[in-house]
């Protein structure tokens, strides 16, 4: 979870809880507040799914998402939190896999995150013969 705003990180943490849905694994939330810390985490392959705050300062999650999708091989799915619904086109441009908008609706965020977790797990399962 990337956001400079501790309140936004706390709302995400509360929305996710121990797991966003019963059929997905427990979520270990790693919080980062700066772009350099996020880049170190991404370079180390330390995230299965990323939640990025599009309104983060000074580096917004929208641009970071675009950079990650362009530069990271097998980039984890990204849930982007945008400032307003009208910014959906920016989320599309960034390559985000799912989008929710501020103010954060806990149910909507948990559903979107669970969907991305399912997607990531299904990509890593071996094919059945």
Q: Using one digit for the tens of pLDDT, what is the confidence trace for 84-114? A: 888 889 999 999 999 999 999 999 999 999 9
Q: How many CA atoms lie within 13 A of 28 on its CB side?
A: 3
- Looking at every residue in the chain, the average pLDDT score rounds to 91
pLDDT the model gives residue 39: 87
The verdict on whether omega for the bond into residue 103 sits within 30 degrees of 0, i.e. cis, is: yes
What's the chain's Rg over C-alpha atoms? 14
Q: What is the mean pLDDT of residues 13-23?
A: 93
Mean pLDDT of 70-80: 91
pLDDT, residue 125, reads 53
Nearest to 79 by CA among 61, 55, 67, 102: 61
Question: How high is the pLDDT of residue 2?
Answer: 96
The per-residue pLDDT for 84 is: 87
Q: What is the pLDDT of residue 128?
A: 52
pLDDT band at 124 (very low <50, low <70, confident <90, very high): low
Quick: pLDDT tens for 30-53: 999 999 999 888 888 878 999 999
What pLDDT does residue 86 have?
86
Q: How far is CA 61 from CA 26, 52, 66, in A?
A: 24, 5, 9
Give dist(CA 22, CA 76) in Å, integer: 21
pLDDT above 80 (res 126): no
- The CATH code for residues 6-124 is 3.40.50.2300
């Amino acid at each position: 979870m990337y956001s400079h705003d501790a309140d936004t990180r706390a709302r995400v943490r509360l929305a996710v809880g121990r797991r966003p849905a019963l059929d997905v694994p427990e979520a270990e939330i790693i919080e980062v507040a700066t772009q350099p810390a996020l880049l170190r985490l991404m370079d180390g392959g330390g995230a299965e799914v990323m939640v990025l705050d599009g309104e983060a300062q000074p580096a917004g999650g929208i641009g970071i998402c675009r950079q990650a999708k362009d530069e990271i091989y097998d980039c984890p799915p990204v849930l982007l939190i945008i400032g307003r619904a009208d910014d959906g086109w920016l989320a599309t441009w960034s390559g985000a896999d799912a989008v929710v908008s501020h103010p954060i609706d806990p149910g909507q965020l948990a559903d979107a995150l669970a969907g991305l977790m399912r997607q990531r797990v299904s990509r890593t399962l071996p094919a059945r013969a």
